[in-house]
């Protein structure tokens, strides 16, 4: 049987489960009800659940750093980075395979594979370095995305479709640009989440003081960015600037994008005032920082709730240990349409309960999730190959070096005086 998780691991795993459940809820619930009111899953989880997932990916990378016990140099550092590349490539492969399912959801998995690869040069750097890098990604990434909006030719038959192994191989340049900047979950922007997650993972997560700091700093960032957006779009006149610069959209349509996010991949780029928007999936600087704050606060709250290590959280912790497998299963369920789309509450609970039952049985019997086990074994294999140098066979000096004059070569065959053996 797999060992029970530590309190630290339980809190992080429960947070992963919450992120997964949040993304599933956004997929199965409509954005708004029949009466036009925004649905609560969309209001709570849209954009924030996936951001929480990304921050926790950074936490998991920091856990790998801790395993190296501070020996992050030389072969150990190279081995860990090589393992990170393998992990990213395998996650990318899984994401591209999920793209073949042609589900109505935008699969986040291939972008996560790119994130792990981008994290390689940041692995092992100081927390100060990561905390400086995070806001740079959060600010300059959206600026680059804003500039590229409309300047990248669309070569895919359906630009909003998920990439597959075939489409990625056919147009590798466009694929890389989309994964990094112009796609649904642009990795350059989302590196802000990963960098902060790596810093969080280095902390003593069983500490109540650390958890409270995460709640305070996260909530402060989320609230302040939201308030700043309201000020910029309200008293500062930003809303009027949006209306004047975007005549193709009515005032009602602009207000709808401010509430529900862009209708397609991008928000309009008719004016830089769009960068003041905080709406789901808008990928503006304030939106990235708002989601980051919400994710950090959520991690802090969950760490506080799970400090006791109560068994009531065990089903969620089990789900959190195999989120890649269960997310993939969710994509398959959506593709097969085996659950009634008109009954989102039933669909959500059926998936949550099924995930919990599967995760608990699999974890108690085998351990790591199916996909997680494959990725872990592959990355561990490459880590050991790089960390342990190949031993060279000793050279037989007698076969290549002549004996020194005046010495007897004991390995040479005895010869008679006439030279015959």
Per-residue pLDDT tens over the stretch 257-282: 999 988 878 889 899 999 999 999 99
> Which pTM was predicted?
0.87
Pick the more confident residue, 6 or 136: 136
Provide the phi-psi class of 283: left if phi over 0, else alpha when psi is between -120 and 50, else beta. Answer: left
**Structure token pair of residue 114:** 């790119």
- CA-CA distance, 72 to 66, in Å (whole number)? 9
Query: Is residue 307 scored above 90 in pLDDT?
Result: no
Q: Does the pLDDT of residue 86 top 90, yes or no? A: yes
Other C-beta atoms within 10 Å of 302: how many? 26
- The pLDDT value recorded for residue 3 is 42
What average pLDDT does the structure give for the chain? 87
Highest-scoring range by mean pLDDT, 41-50, 156-165, 308-317: 41-50
pLDDT of residue 342: 85
The set of residues, in sequence order, having a beta carbon less than 8 Å from that of 128 and lying 6+ positions away, is: none
**pLDDT tens-place string over residues 59-74:** 999 988 877 666 667 7
Q: What is the pLDDT of residues 310-355, one digit of tens each?
A: 889 999 999 999 999 999 999 999 999 888 888 999 999 999 999 9
What is the arithmetic mean of pLDDT over 293-301?
Answer: 97
């Amino acid at each position: 049987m797999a060992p029970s998780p530590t309190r630290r691991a339980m809190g992080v795993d429960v947070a992963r489960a919450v992120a997964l459940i949040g993304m599933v809820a956004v997929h199965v619930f409509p954005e708004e009800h029949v009466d036009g009111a925004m649905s609560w899953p969309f209001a709570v989880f849209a954009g924030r659940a996936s951001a929480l997932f990304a921050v926790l990916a950074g936490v998991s990378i920091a856990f790998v750093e801790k395993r190296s016990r501070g020996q992050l140099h030389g072969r150990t550092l190279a081995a860990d980075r090589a393992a990170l590349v393998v992990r990213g490539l395998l996650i990318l492969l899984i994401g591209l395979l999920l793209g073949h399912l042609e589900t109505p959801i935008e699969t986040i998995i291939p972008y996560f594979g790119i994130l792990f690869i981008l994290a390689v040069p940041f692995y092992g750097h100081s927390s100060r370095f990561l905390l400086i890098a995070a806001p740079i990604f959060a600010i300059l990434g959206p600026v680059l995305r804003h500039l590229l909006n409309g300047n990248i030719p669309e070569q895919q038959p359906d630009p909003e479709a998920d990439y597959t192994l075939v489409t990625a191989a056919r147009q590798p340049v466009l694929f890389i640009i989309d994964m990094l900047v112009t796609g649904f979950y642009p990795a350059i922007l989302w590196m802000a989440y990963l960098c902060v997650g790596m810093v969080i993972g280095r902390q003593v997560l069983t500490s109540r003081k650390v958890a409270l700091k995460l709640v305070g700093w996260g909530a402060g960032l989320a609230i302040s960015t939201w308030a700043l957006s309201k000020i910029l779009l309200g008293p500062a006149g930003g809303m009027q600037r949006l209306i004047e610069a975007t005549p193709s959209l009515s005032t009602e349509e602009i207000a709808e994008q401010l509430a529900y996010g862009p209708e397609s991949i991008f928000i309009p780029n008719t004016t830089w005032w769009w960068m003041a928007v905080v709406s789901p999936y808008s990928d503006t600087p304030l939106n990235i920082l708002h989601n980051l704050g919400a994710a950090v606060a959520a991690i802090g709250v969950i760490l506080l709730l799970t400090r006791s290590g109560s068994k009531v959280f065990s089903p969620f912790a089990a789900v959190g240990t195999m989120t890649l497998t269960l997310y993939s299963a969710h994509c398959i369920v959506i593709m097969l349409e085996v659950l009634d789309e008109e009954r989102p509450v039933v669909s959500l609970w059926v998936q949550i309960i099924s995930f919990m039952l599967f995760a608990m049985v699999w974890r108690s019997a085998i351990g790591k999730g199916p996909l997680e086990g494959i990725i872990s074994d592959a990355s561990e294999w490459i880590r050991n190959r790089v960390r342990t140098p190949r031993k060279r066979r000793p050279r037989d000096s007698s076969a290549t070096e002549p004996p020194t004059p005046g010495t007897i070569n004991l390995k040479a065959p005895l010869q008679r005086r006439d030279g015959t053996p």
